[in-house]
Chain A
Amino acid sequence: MLKARVIPCLDVKDGRVVKGVQFVDLIDAGDPVEAALAYDAAGADELCFLDITASHEDRGILLDAVTRTAEHCFMPLTVGGGVRTVEDIRVLLRAGADKVSINTAAVKDRAFVKAAAEKYGDQCIVVAIDAKRVSADGEPLRWEIFTHGGRQSTGIDVLEFAEEVVSLGAGEILLTSMDRDGTKAGYDIALTRAVADSVHVPVIASGGVGDLDHLVAGIRDGGATAVLAASIFHFGQHTIREAKEYMAEAGIPMRLDP
């Protein structure tokens, strides 16, 4: 039976993990490779690097981190942030990423998703959607895509966009609620469920995890097949193992390999 996935996400800036990973004694908490190894050992099902390096010219450092991580971690790695061209994807896959996540570039140019999927296969193209609720209380729920860290509205309907990028070849949707991101109030379950019900590809729930019940809800109520979280793991509030055991006890099929 296929298991639900728990994916820790590391923000990487100029080749360094922002805020660091503090749940184990790492020699260098800011080294993405050390952090990746720690999560590998902890039983993470996949790993996600989000590159928040401001300048495109400094990508080399990220690529080096991806290469070193892929050499030591025998688990799937998704890399996103600033992916704009098919060449960006080629370079990341070449460095050792298994999947590449496309965000703003997919919003600006849908044809890019198609070109990327045709070139490298649906299985490695993740489209990251940053969604914000735009409907007022009492109105039917509606979400739009926001870019620039949730500051800039695009007027694009999330469900329509999700269906479109999947028809163009996105193999997975990484869905982040910008309303919930950083709040610890839990995933936007209505949003997650709406997207999961409208596309046939896996959906990763993201944004707002504050406790382990939120992870359970993302899968059970939101219909996601994977849950992404950052701070609850990085700061040692919970280990990956605890999270997975908790989810298993709640009746979700989990991988608990020794």
Chain B
Amino acid sequence: MRVAILDYGSGNLRSAEKAFERAAREHDIRADIRVTDDPEIVRVSDRVVLPGVGAFADCKRGLERVPGLREALMETVEQKGRPFLGICVGMQLMADFGREYEVAEGFGWISGDVVRLEPSDPDLKIPHMGWNTLRVLSDHALLKGIETGDGGLHAYFVHSYHLGAKNRGDVVAEADYGGPVTAIVAHENRAGTQFHPEKSQKLGLALIGNFLEWAP
């Protein structure tokens, strides 16, 4: 299996690469994990991963700066239907619009906008930074075998904005931070996590393994 982790200058992808390699090993999957900005490699990959840190519009611009990369991503995910995983801002890019500093268009895969977190408790700090549990709204292959809920495993979050999904059916899991925070979205062959699975130890490695096995 060929897995492309898109490198468009948004942060370090070494730990993401290593986490995918380890998850593949633990799930007994033979995977060729490539960190790449080469549209041709993206086109022939079986899974596409889009990481992202920083601001929404910056990430969008970064992605578009690499000639042909966005087109290759769209072709692979929209036309060929290959499984897609967006991470953090990579997940937010799946929305219609981002509203961080400036309004920027997303991929329009998950209906809704990326908006600033507004916890009901004013004492809660922004960014939402650290380990939180997940509340599952609809079961999904990505969560297979993962203990969730208050007593379940934790995921590592660091963000000030989240995807306010219009269709509740697209939200797989939420975290609670002075109100619901969108943690996992999925629609057809496309999924995304607001938290960082590559930094989320046990839960993260299990989720990545599930993504590699996912047959949407």
Contacts and interface: CB of A to CB of B under 8 A. Distances in A.
A67 B19 contact: no
Interface string A117-155: 001111110000000000000000000000000000000
Interface stretch (A22-30, A71-79, A107-115): A71-79
B160 A74 contact: no
**Contact count band on B:** 35 or more
A11 interface: no
A74 B129 contact: no
Contacts of B133: 1
Interface stretch (A52-60, A93-101, A207-215): A93-101
A226 to B, nearest CB: 7
A231 interface: no
B12 interface: yes
B198 interface: yes
B118 to A, nearest CB: 12
B22 to A, nearest CB: 8
B150 interface: yes
Contact of B54 (A70, A74, A120, A255): A120
Given A71-B14, A72-B18, A3 B131 contact: yes
Nearest to B52: A121
A245 to B, nearest CB: 15
A201 interface: yes
A222 to B, nearest CB: 13
Given A74-B205, A122-B127, A96 B132 contact: no
Interface residues on A, range: 35 or more
A172 interface: yes
A2 B156 contact: no
Nearest to B18: A71
Given A94-B12, A96-B14, A123-B127, A3 B55 contact: no
A70 B14 contact: yes
B90 to A, nearest CB: 13
A45 B19 CA distance: 17
B176 A123 contact: no
B158 interface: yes
A81 interface: no
Interface in B180-214: 196, 198-205
B132 A74 contact: no
A225 interface: yes
Nearest to B54: A121
B201 A76 contact: no
A32 to B, nearest CB: 15
A1 B58 CA distance: 30
Contacts of A97: 12
B103 interface: no
Q: Select the residue from A40, A76, A96, A120 with max chain B CB neighbours within 10 A.
A: A76
Interface of B: 11-12, 14-15, 18-19, 22, 53-55, 58, 124-133, 150, 153-154, 156-160, 175-177, 196, 198-205
Q: Nearest 3 A-B pairs (CB), nearest first? A: A121-B54, A255-B131, A70-B15
15 contacts: A2-B157, A2-B177, A74-B15, A74-B199, A75-B201, A76-B156, A95-B12, A96-B12, A119-B54, A121-B54, A123-B129, A123-B159, A200-B126, A201-B125, A203-B125
